[in-house]
């Protein structure tokens, strides 16, 4: 089961966000050889959730006002 993704972590720069392990940035356990994956907060700012539906608590789009 996947861990719940933190929306506003206190220190996102200390963690790799590339998988569900959330390893410290200096001791990644993935072994993929790449750099640390940044949290969307670091890339897009504090209002990163306002940039669209990220699949996290997305609004219900099946209501009567939905047009095809």
CA distance 16 to 29: 10
Give the pLDDT mean for 23-33: 76
- Integer Cα distance of 32 and 16 in angstroms: 12
State residue 19's pLDDT score.
81
Please state, in angstroms and rounded to a whole number, the distance separating the CA atoms of residues 68 and 65: 10
Tens digits of residue pLDDT in 42-62: 888 888 777 665 555 555 556
Q: How far apart are CA 15 and CA 23, in angstroms?
A: 6
Higher per-residue pLDDT: 43 or 66: 43
pLDDT in tens, 4-24: 888 888 999 998 888 888 888
Distance, first Cα to last Cα, the chain: 34
pTM summary value: 0.61
Domain map (residue ranges) of the chain: 11-51
């Amino acid at each position: 089961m996947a861990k719940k993704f933190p929306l506003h972590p206190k220190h996102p720069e200390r963690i790799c966000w590339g998988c569900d392990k959330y390893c410290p940035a200096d001791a990644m356990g993935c072994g993929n050889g790449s750099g640390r994956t940044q949290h969307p907060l670091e890339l897009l700012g504090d209002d990163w959730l306002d940039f669209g539906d990220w699949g996290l608590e997305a609004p219900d789009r099946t209501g009567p006002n939905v047009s095809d």
